[in-house]
């Protein structure tokens, strides 16, 4: 009985580490939400995602209690018009860095539940296909701010 307990004590911490290892292969940085103009009901979030693993992953969704709806969006030129559309997932190739930035992919927070001002904090939950969920707190930055660079 003691040998079984001793074996379990060695295996359980290793298994717990294995369950969260994929999450540690993703690095989210420079996470920020741009403050909307006064009275604005939508805001955009930007960040950099590094997939440091040897396998591909994908960002499936983002949520926050600060907004009624959150979507992953892509901006792209179609003819002579810049168009924005929701995408169901954002591929994260193995070893790649994907930037969500103005004019490209970004996270759209729609139906803000309260005004957002520079300096506020917004909790965001990112759900990945392989890595699971990652919770971060984004700083609200003024319009025109390029990044929080931390």
Domains defined for the chain, CATH in brackets? 25-141 (2.60.40.1890)
**Is the pLDDT assigned to residue 142 strictly greater than 50?**
yes
Q: Which positions ≥6 away from 133 have C-beta within 8 Å?
A: 125, 126, 127
Region of 144 (left: φ > 0; alpha: ψ -120 to 50; beta: rest) is left
The whole-angstrom separation of Cα 112 and Cα 42 is 6
Collapsed DSSP state (helix, strand, coil) of residue 105:
coil
> What is the tens place of the pLDDT at every residue in 79-124?
888 899 999 999 999 999 999 999 999 999 999 999 999 999 999 9
Query: What is the rounded CA–CA span in Å between residue 17 and residue 46?
Result: 29
**Mean pLDDT, rounded, for 21-46:** 88
pLDDT of residue 76: 82
Determine the 3-state secondary structure of 69 from DSSP: strand
- The answer on pLDDT for 2 being more than 90 is no
pLDDT of residue 147: 57
End-to-end C-alpha distance for the chain, whole angstroms: 50
Which residue has tokens 């420079």? Answer: 30
What are the angstrom distances between the C-alpha of 88 and each of 15, 70, 120?
A: 31, 12, 28
Q: Which of 54, 52, 53, 34 is nearest to 44 (CA)?
A: 34
Displacement of CA 91 from its chain's centroid (Å): 13
């Amino acid at each position: 009985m003691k040998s079984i307990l001793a074996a379990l004590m060695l295996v359980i911490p290793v298994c717990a580490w294995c369950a969260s290892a994929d999450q540690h292969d993703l690095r989210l940085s420079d996470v920020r939400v741009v403050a909307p103009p006064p009275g604005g009901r939508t805001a955009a979030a930007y960040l950099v995602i590094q997939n440091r693993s040897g396998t591909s992953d994908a960002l499936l969704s983002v949520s926050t209690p600060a907004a009624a709806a959150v979507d992953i969006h892509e901006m792209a030129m179609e003819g002579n018009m810049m168009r924005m559309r929701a995408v169901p997932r954002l591929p994260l190739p193995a070893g790649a860095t994907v930037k969500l930035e103005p004019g490209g992919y970004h996270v759209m927070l729609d139906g803000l539940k309260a005004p957002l001002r520079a300096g506020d904090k917004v909790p965001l939950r990112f759900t990945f296909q392989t890595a699971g969920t990652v919770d971060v707190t984004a700083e609200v930055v003024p319009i025109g701010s390029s990044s929080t660079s931390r």
